[in-house]
């Protein structure tokens, strides 16, 4: 039996993490590393303007809000491919498993392929007497990956909490270390990679009023990452969201026996930018076809999001396929996300 004290402790953990995120936001604009941590997987979430803190459930919750894993009733798999900017591609895989009365567990893997870069040297004329050597003819491919495990549990019929532990690795060059000349003219060896252990905390709460639910997360809490001789923090992300069904059974506004219209809104606060807001809508027809739209406010280039998905039962399995489009401005173009999910209940 869980006591009120246990539930209060869970609230305190998330609230303290949130308080850490807010004061530092205006002080660290553009100073975080591992920016891929802000490119979130799952096409359904992306199509809804990333207003997903209160909606995340099943395997998808491993990326968004670990508390949502508590809704898992069997076994789930979810995979996402992201066609991002400038030929950058990102992939993600998540799994969730119900542990019965113990709760639910989840795993996640993410990787980023930045493509091939041409190596160039800086002007080292004062040291090598070779001015502006430029391209060296060598190539390298930066690489980033993340693995994580999650655990979630419903503390009451309305309240669930979750936590993730993640290991992130980023390699910027083809060699793990290089020799450089410091300001004193001495040669020293520095690493071209960084590793970090990061934590996510989340909660979800069903208010009991119709279908209104609330979610909150703090993501990527951990120590700063060391690149060469410089250190910088991972992007610390705080989300507070609310969602409800506007149409459907037990909805706020309109009864609808065949479909369900869901609205969601998130306040998003990273530690390297100002406060941003996300809004999204989804109309799900009979649990088989869904259309989605959203908007991201206070972004330099991002804004409108669109998408949809299909869901089909195959024996004991439920298969879902989703797509999301994101407008990235005239210069950057657009982004695409494709997700496939399998549920075995």
Q: What is the pLDDT of residues 274-321, one digit of tens each?
A: 899 999 999 999 889 999 999 999 998 889 999 999 999 998 999 999
Domain membership flag for residue 190: yes
> Which SS3 state, helix, strand or coil, does residue 94 take?
strand
| In a domain? residue 91 | yes
Instruction: Identify the residue with better confidence: 255 or 241.
Output: 241
Closest by alpha carbon to 270, among 235, 318, 302? 235
Classify residue 230: in a domain, yes or no: yes
Mean pLDDT of 29-43: 82
For residue 282, with 0-12 CB atoms within 10 Å meaning exposed, 13-18 middle and 19 or more buried, which class applies? buried
- For 10-26, write each residue's pLDDT tens digit: 544 554 555 454 544 54
Residue-range definition of the domain harbouring residue 79: 4-241+263-272
In a domain, 312, yes or no: no
Tell me, yes or no, if the pTM score tops 0.75. Answer: yes
Is the predicted pLDDT of residue 32 greater than 80, yes or no?
Answer: no
Q: How far is the C-alpha of 210 from the C-alpha of 251, rounded, in Å?
A: 6
Residue in 17, 11, 9, 110 with CA at minimum distance from that of residue 62: 110
Q: Does the pLDDT of residue 8 top 60, yes or no?
A: no
Would you state the pLDDT for residue 3?
47
Q: Where is pLDDT greater, at 224 or 60?
A: 60
Name 67's Cβ contacts closer than 8 Å, sequence gap at least 6: 56, 61, 152, 160, 161, 162, 202, 203, 204, 215, 217
Task: Look up residue 337 and give its DSSP letter.
Answer: E
Six token digits for residue 264: 């969601």
What percent of the chain stands above pLDDT 90?
54
* DSSP characters over 143-196: EEEEEEEEEEEESSSSEEEEEEEEEEEEE-SSSSEEEEE-TTS-EEEEESEEEE
Total count of domains within the chain = 1
Q: Is 104 helix (H, G, I), strand (E, B) or coil?
A: strand
Name the phi and psi angles at 26, rounded to 5: -80, -10
Residue 294 to residue 45: CA distance in whole angstroms? 9
Distance of alpha carbon 327 from alpha carbon 124, whole angstroms: 41
- Whether the per-residue pLDDT at 63 is higher than 60: the answer is yes
Cβ–Cβ under 8 Å, residues 332 and 85? yes
Tokens describing residue 102: 């113990």
Decide: residue 276, CB within 10 A, 0-12 exposed, 13-18 middle, 19+ buried.
Answer: middle
What distance in Å separates the CA atoms of residue 201 and residue 65, rounded to the nearest whole number?
7
Please report the pLDDT score of residue 95 as a whole number.
97
Question: Is there a domain that residue 231 lies in?
Answer: yes
- The answer to the question of residue 188 being in a domain is yes
């Amino acid at each position: 039996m869980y006591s009120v004290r246990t539930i209060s402790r869970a609230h305190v953990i998330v609230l303290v993490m949130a308080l850490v995120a807010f004061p530092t936001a205006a002080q660290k604009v553009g100073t975080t590393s591992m920016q891929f941590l802000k490119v979130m997987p799952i096409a359904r979430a992306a199509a809804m303007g990333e207003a997903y803190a209160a909606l995340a459930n099943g395997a998808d919750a491993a990326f968004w809000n670990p508390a949502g894993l508590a809704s898992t009733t069997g076994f789930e798999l979810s995979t996402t491919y992201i066609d991002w900017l400038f030929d950058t591609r990102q992939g993600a895989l998540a799994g969730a498993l119900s542990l019965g009365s113990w709760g639910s567990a989840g795993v996640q893997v993410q990787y980023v392929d930045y493509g091939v870069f041409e190596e160039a040297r800086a002007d080292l004329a004062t040291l090598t007497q070779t001015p502006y050597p430029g391209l060296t003819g060598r190539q390298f491919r930066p690489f980033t990956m993340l693995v994580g495990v999650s655990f979630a549990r419903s503390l009451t019929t309305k309240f669930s909490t979750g936590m993730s532990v993640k290991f992130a690795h980023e390699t910027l060059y083809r060699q793990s270390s290089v020799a450089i000349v410091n300001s004193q003219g001495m040669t020293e060896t520095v690493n071209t990679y960084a590793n970090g252990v990061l934590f996510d905390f989340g909660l979800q709460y069903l208010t009991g009023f119709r279908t209104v639910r609330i979610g909150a997360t703090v993501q990527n809490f951990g120590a700063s990452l060391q690149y060469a001789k410089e250190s910088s923090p991972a992007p610390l992300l705080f989300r507070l969201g609310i969602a409800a069904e506007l149409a459907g059974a037990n909805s706020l506004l309109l009864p609808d026996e065949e479909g369900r219209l869901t609205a969601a809104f998130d306040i998003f606060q990273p530690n390297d930018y100002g406060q941003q807001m996300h809004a999204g809508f989804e109309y799900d027809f009979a649990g088989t076809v869904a259309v989605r739209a959203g908007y991201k406010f206070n972004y330099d280039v991002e804004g409108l999001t669109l998408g949809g998905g299909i869901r089909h039962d195959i024996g004991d399995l439920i298969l879902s396929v989703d797509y999301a489009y994101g407008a990235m401005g005239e210069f950057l173009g657009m982004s695409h996300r494709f997700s496939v999910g399998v549920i075995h209940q």
